[in-house]
């Protein structure tokens, strides 16, 4: 007879935090969100920690080198997706590690023979209004000029007007040589009242753009997550099929931390992958594993050598694993069970293995609940897919801006390795969907708000660190009726849509 868990599995939405005593020191600015990213022994410091407890999912629609830089700049880690060739993923890692803060590689470029229509289409896709004109239309092509919104008037120009007719040509541009420092670049920008400064090499090829707006942005990111060489910390996903070639390439590219990207982690394949890493690199290469949903799965991966364990099966917004296969567990129950096992393992062995909660986050307060339930950090996909920094297209659906978002188990991603059970190669059936999420703007603005909410709630619980939150948190189950009570109810809400549109 099958084993039956005595309690139903529950989601984050079924819990609330009960406030505790808040001292005069409990203000959001005093709260630290620093958290360990990898295992460590009692009395020692972890080899890698994060300044905020947030990582982005290893998904095509979420985590490329652009997201890796943006998230590290804000204190977290992005796991660059592995459902691509080894060479392509390693190149993304290398670009993110080589990224010079303030120096931006242009991803919006045109040729001089292209048209205003092409510029407008590019702006619609990327949101960027500064478009370098290069000889071949590539990001490192010979710079011929720049197009900004000041160079054209859509109402007065034909859309088939060639770029060469309205661009600001190179001879009228202020630009700087390749050895220019960031301070020198910013001085040039301020002296010449520029919005952007191109950096070119000795052959006139475009290397970077330095933007006026990034000067303030750099000063506004005190949580930047950097390695010992002042480079951004970058993560990458791996699978249990080609790890023998993928891991060395990623290590060579400079990756800081790996994570086995799998829908179900309680398997011999994960142990084989971890065994390879430990045999080849010892403990110098950090690698998390998962996903699991109970104490037994956690213990297996901890003993197999995982640097952190990822929790969650079927809770992602684009995941249909539970629907298709009938496996999984409510995310809140899974996190509670696994974190209890982590604490028991720590008492027994003196080794603390961080837990990452992956999936089930719908509202910002769910992040705080996951952390209060014991998670050391949270992995999210949908949350990050909404931002400018995600690699997907921004499109208009029914009059609203949306971003494309698809699961790794969808036919679009065809990431069969993530769902590999050791059989034939290929995706037998889908475990993810292809969808859209509402466009939300920049990562920093949204993350700052989400993290402020976490800090504020922690203060309500009398906690100034995540460790304190886990010790002091008081959780209560809520009924269906009290969930309704928790939102706006029994009132007629004003429709502010028209007013907001007029203000804009």
CA angle at 263 for the pair 260 and 269, rounded to the nearest 5°: 55
pLDDT band at 494 (very low <50, low <70, confident <90, very high): confident
Catalytic residue list contains 418: yes
Q: For 10-23, write each residue's pLDDT tens digit.
A: 999 999 999 999 99
364-372 and 331-349 helices, crossing angle to 10°: 30
* pTM metric for this prediction: 0.78
Catalytic hit among 73, 329, 386, 418: 418
Percent of the chain at pLDDT above 90?
74
The values of phi and psi at residue 378, to 5°, are: -125, 135
Which one is catalytic: 82, 319, 339, 356?
Answer: 319
Interatomic CA distance for residues 135 and 346, integer angstroms:
59
Q: Give which of 80, 74, 81, 85 is closest to 97, Cα–Cα.
A: 80
Q: Has 319 been annotated as catalytic?
A: yes
Q: Cα separations (Å) of 415 from 78, 242, 267, 388?
A: 18, 13, 18, 24
Taking CA atoms, 337 is separated from 5, 116, 123, 475, in Å, by 11, 57, 47, 14
For tokens 């920690």, name the residue.
Answer: 49
Give the Cα separation of 449 and 35 in Å (integer).
19
* Higher-scoring residue by pLDDT: 74, 501: 74
Q: Are 378 and 356 in contact (CB under 8 A)?
A: yes
What is the enclosing helix (H) or strand (E) of 49?
strand 49-50
Q: What is the pLDDT of residues 151-190, one digit of tens each?
A: 999 988 999 999 999 999 999 999 999 899 888 998 999 9
317: Cβ–Cβ under 8 A, 6 or more apart, which residues?
362, 381, 382, 435, 437
Q: How far is CA 409 from CA 61, 381, 389, in A?
A: 12, 13, 22
The pLDDT value given to residue 110 = 95
pLDDT in tens, 108-161: 899 999 999 999 999 888 778 899 999 999 989 999 999 998 999 998 899 999
Q: Which of 6, 15, 16, 22 is closest to 455 using CA atoms? A: 22
State the Cα angle at 287 between 284 and 289, rounded to 5°: 155
Write down the pLDDT at residue 429.
60
230 pLDDT band, cuts 50/70/90, is: confident
**Contacts with 321 (C-beta within 8 Å, 6 or more apart), sequence order:** 263, 313, 314, 327, 328, 409, 431
DSSP state of 110: B
Q: Are 197 and 189 in contact (CB under 8 A)?
A: yes
Count, residues in the chain: 504
SS3 84: coil
- Average pLDDT, integer, range 394-415: 83
Structure tokens belonging to residue 248: 């060395």
Tell me how far apart the alpha carbons of residues 483 and 252 are, in angstroms, rounded to a whole number. Answer: 50
Pairwise pLDDT comparison (307 vs 484), residue with the higher score: 307
- pLDDT tens figures, 178-221: 899 888 998 999 999 998 999 999 999 999 999 887 666 566 78
> Is the pLDDT score of 102 beyond 80?
no
Mean of the per-residue pLDDT values of the chain: 90
Q: Helix, strand or coil for residue 16?
A: strand
Question: How far is CA 290 from each of CA 258, 263, 302, rounded to the nearest angstrom?
Answer: 12, 8, 10
Q: Which long-range contacts (CB under 8 A, 24 or more apart) does 182-186 make?
A: 182/100, 182/101, 182/102, 182/103, 182/210, 185/102, 185/103, 185/210, 186/102, 186/210, 186/215
Q: Quick one: which of 142, 164, 140 has its CA closest to 152?
A: 164
Q: Please, are residues 340 and 374 in contact by the beta-carbon 8 Å criterion?
A: yes
Candidates 250, 265, 254; CA nearest to 308 is 265
């Amino acid at each position: 007879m099958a084993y039956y868990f005595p309690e139903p599995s529950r989601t984050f939405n079924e819990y609330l935090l009960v406030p505790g005593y808040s001292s005069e020191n409990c203000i959001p600015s005093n709260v630290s969100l620093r958290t360990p990213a990898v295992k460590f022994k009692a009395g020692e410091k972890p080899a890698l920690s994060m300044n905020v407890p947030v990582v982005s999912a290893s998904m095509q629609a979420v985590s490329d080198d652009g997201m890796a830089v943006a998230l590290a700049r804000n204190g977290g880690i992005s796991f660059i997706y592995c459902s691509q060739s080894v060479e392509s993923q390693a190149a993304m890692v290398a670009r993110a590690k080589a990224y010079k803060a303030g120096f931006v590689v242009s991803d919006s470029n045109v040729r001089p023979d292209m048209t205003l229509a092409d510029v407008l289409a590019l702006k619609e896709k990327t949101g960027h209004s500064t478009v370098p004109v290069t000889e071949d239309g590539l990001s490192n092509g010979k710079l011929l000029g720049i197009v900004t919104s000041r160079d054209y008037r859509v109402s007065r120009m034909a859309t088939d007007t060639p770029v060469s007719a309205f661009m600001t040509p190179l001879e009228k541009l202020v630009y700087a040589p390749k050895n220019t420092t960031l301070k020198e670049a910013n001085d040039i920008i301020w002296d010449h009242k520029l919005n952007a400064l191109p950096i070119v090499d000795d052959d006139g090829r475009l290397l970077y753009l330095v933007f006026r707006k990034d000067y303030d942005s750099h000063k506004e990111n005190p949580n930047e997550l950097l390695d010992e060489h002042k480079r951004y910390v970058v993560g990458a996903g791996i699978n249990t099929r080609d790890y023998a070639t993928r891991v060395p390439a990623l290590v060579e590219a400079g990756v800081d931390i790996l994570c086995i990207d799998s829908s179900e982690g309680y398997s011999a394949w994960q142990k084989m992958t971890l065994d390879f890493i430990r045999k080849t690199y010892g403990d110098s290469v950090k690698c998390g594993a998962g996903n699991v949903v109970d104490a037994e799965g956690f213990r297996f991966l901890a003993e197999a050598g995982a640097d952190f364990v990822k929790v969650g099966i079927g809770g992602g917004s684009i995941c249909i694993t539970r629907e298709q296969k009938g496996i999984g567990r409510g995310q809140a129950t899974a996190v509670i069970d696994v974190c209890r096992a982590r604490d028991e393992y720590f008492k027994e062995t003196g080794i603390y293995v961080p837990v990452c909660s992956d999936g089930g986050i719908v509202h910002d307060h769910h992040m705080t609940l996951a952390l209060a339930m014991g998670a050391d950090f949270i992995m999210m996909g949908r949350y990050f897919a909404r931002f400018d920094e995600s690699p997907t297209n921004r499109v208009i659906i029914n009059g609203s801006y949306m971003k494309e978002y698809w699961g790794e188990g969808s036919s679009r991603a065809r990431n069969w390795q993530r769902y590999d059970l050791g059989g034939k190669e290929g995706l037998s059936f889908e475990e993810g969907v292809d969808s859209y999420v509402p466009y939300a703007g920049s990562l920093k603005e949204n993350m700052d708000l989400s993290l402020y909410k976490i800090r504020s709630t922690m203060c309500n619980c009398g906690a100034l660190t995540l460790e304190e939150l886990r010790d002091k948190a008081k959780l209560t189950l809520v009924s269906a009726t009290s969930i309704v009570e928790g939102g706006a109810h029994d009132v007629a809400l004003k429709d502010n849509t028209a007013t907001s549109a007029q203000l804009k």
